Structure 1
């Protein structure tokens, strides 16, 4: 076992290899698919990769350690002599990898030029950031976009981001001091006053690569409270994540207050629920193509309740 991690040496070595391989600009698409599959093979792979990311600031030490572990695990050079995995990088790759990390994870020195984008309630808009990065904005969404740096600052609302670049860090999404960095992926972000929800349908993203280092892989969702950074991780299907683009609301084991937030975002109305209902977990499918009254009545029906129109909006439950 590696003395710094509770993982078998071979798994930790694989994790570091993936981390260093991702620093190469020439990593092809099929290897990104292989990486995602490797992450999903066993929970131990994800944990080992997270540990390697945490040690990313000291890649030289990692390289030295793994070079000793795998002294016989080499790659032949032009003279057919085995060379260690990390000898392709100076000082076991620390300098090159850390420089590449700086390029990927931190913005350039030029002053960013942000343009504000907003959508109306119920409006869905698709925006191309560049040839390999695009996004679809849900209703009542506001964000600031720097196209040159492929950086988005989400102020409120919901958006799906699609990244076709084989290199990580082709897109940065910033939310309340947190940075989300892509690993060649499709992912959905919801941001309201108190909560951040990130769901990944393809590839993976890293939330807070500089500090938090939270990896979210395909089929996973993170819901984080912005005031204290507490979070929950859950499984989610691709259909549920992207259903809003087809005017459907699909929720799987979600809290009532979370579902209500999605409905409010689409119709721009206030919906209050009885306190006894707020944290109940529910599952269902509701069409957003109907009018406001019909949709809110459908939500109430899922709860076994009725909806009443009030002066300030709607009320579900007593």
Structure 2
């Protein structure tokens, strides 16, 4: 989209490119947001050009006054030549247009959808500070969709994330996970998505689950588990200090299937862990410490789960403790 004509003044070239992009982003059919982002990131001066254009917007009123029709002047005033008038008029119109573009185009760009994805590897965690003061801590093996144009929105595609949200009743924070919509009401909460299953636990404030449908309110110390699409919502209690305890390397489970336990261990230990189908639905309640432990810890953890760990080519498999080798 950038200009192809060669210009000797690089600063002018960048300024004109910035204006070109500002004009393009106002078109209803504009879709090259990735190209626009690449242009912004290609050279620090590109962002500066936008900042300067925005700062120039404050002089719009002055420019408009200068471009207005001249007041009658005394007959003995020095006459300004036609060429000088034309040059000055063109400069004023150009400056006014650039300022107006800065005022109109930049906020419009900032408000348009600008989705991006944050992915973590197994065993990796990552913290993200959002512009509104909220924070998201993402567990290993997770994929989270965010939007620079809407910092009050997140989509958990898979894995686990802890949300510590700055509450704003006029603009509630929304988390989507599959077809489930979670709306905050001054909240810290943990979300786990494994396939079509979802687990939401609240440590502070209130989360509203699917306000347009079930409209279930989860206060601090409550948990909702949704098994599969349309599988209903199962509610239970949870100690607030257990919510998001994976950050400190302590995994707490209450009636959790071994399949879900294995998924949690995968995220924290960074190794593939399968569960034999015959025991995948078996429930487990307890606490497992994984802080400072690596993939080799699976063999030691398995007996705590009432299972045995068998080494496989791509990781481990949990089998019944009385299963044949």
Q: Work out whether residues 191 and 199 of structure 2, in 8 Å CA contact, stay in contact via their aligned partners in 1.
A: yes
Match 1:286 to one of 282, 288, 292: 288
Aligned Cα RMSD in Å?
2.0
Distance (Å, rounded) in 2 between the aligned partners of 1:275 and 1:124: 29
> Which residue of structure 1 lines up, in the alignment, with residue 127 of structure 2?
126
Return the offset for 1:131. Answer: 3.1
Distance (Å, rounded) in 2 between the aligned partners of 1:157 and 1:248: 17
Q: Work out whether residues 156 and 192 of structure 1, in 8 Å CA contact, stay in contact via their aligned partners in 2.
A: yes
- 1:161–1:261: structure 2 CA closer, same or farther, 3 Å change rule? same
Q: Work out whether residues 240 and 251 of structure 1, in 8 Å CA contact, stay in contact via their aligned partners in 2.
A: no
> Which residue of structure 2 lines up, in the alignment, with residue 299 of structure 1?
301
Q: Work out whether residues 169 and 182 of structure 1, in 8 Å CA contact, stay in contact via their aligned partners in 2.
A: no
Taking the TM superposition and a 5 Å limit, the aligned residue runs for 1:25-64 are: none
Which deviates more, 247-256 or 268-277? 268-277
Secondary structure of the structure 2 residue equivalent to 1:139: coil
Which deviates more, 187-196 or 306-315? 306-315
Q: Work out whether residues 174 and 183 of structure 2, in 8 Å CA contact, stay in contact via their aligned partners in 1.
A: yes
The TM-score normalised by the length of structure 1 is: 0.61
The TM-score normalised by the length of structure 2 is: 0.59
- 1:248–1:148: structure 2 CA closer, same or farther, 3 Å change rule? same
Return the offset for 1:160. Answer: 0.6
Structure 2 stretches lacking a partner, 5+ long:
1-110
Q: Considering only CA atoms, is the larger Rg found in Structure 1 or Structure 2?
A: 2
Taking the TM superposition and a 5 Å limit, the aligned residue runs for 1:133-152 are: 133-149=134-150, 150-152=152-154
Secondary structure of the structure 1 residue equivalent to 2:267: helix
Instruction: Tell me whether 1:248 sits opposite 2:250 in the alignment.
Output: yes
> Which residue of structure 2 lines up, in the alignment, with residue 12 of structure 1?
none
Return the offset for 1:129. Answer: 1.4
Distance (Å, rounded) in 2 between the aligned partners of 1:273 and 1:175: 24
Structure 1 stretches lacking a partner, 5+ long:
1-109
Kindly provide the CA deviation profile for residues 219-260 of structure 1, in whole angstroms up to 9, marking residues without a partner as x: 111111233332311111123222111122122232222111
Distance (Å, rounded) in 2 between the aligned partners of 1:299 and 1:309: 13
> Which residue of structure 1 lines up, in the alignment, with residue 191 of structure 2?
189
Query: How many aligned residue pairs are there?
Result: 208
Kindly provide the CA deviation profile for residues 117-148 of structure 1, in whole angstroms up to 9, marking residues without a partner as x: 11222122111112332111111111111144
Kindly provide the CA deviation profile for residues 127-174 of structure 1, in whole angstroms up to 9, marking residues without a partner as x: 111233211111111111114421101111111111232527531111
Return the offset for 1:180. Answer: 0.8
Return the offset for 1:276. Answer: 4.1
Query: Which 4+ residue blocks in structure 1 deviate beyond 4 angstroms?
Result: none
Return the offset for 1:268. Answer: 4.3
Return the offset for 1:303. Answer: 2.7
Q: Work out whether residues 168 and 184 of structure 1, in 8 Å CA contact, stay in contact via their aligned partners in 2.
A: no
> Which residue of structure 2 lines up, in the alignment, with residue 229 of structure 1?
231
Q: Work out whether residues 220 and 236 of structure 1, in 8 Å CA contact, stay in contact via their aligned partners in 2.
A: yes
- 1:228–1:299: structure 2 CA closer, same or farther, 3 Å change rule? farther
Distance (Å, rounded) in 2 between the aligned partners of 1:275 and 1:193: 16
Distance (Å, rounded) in 2 between the aligned partners of 1:187 and 1:305: 30
Distance (Å, rounded) in 2 between the aligned partners of 1:293 and 1:250: 20
> Which residue of structure 1 lines up, in the alignment, with residue 218 of structure 2?
216
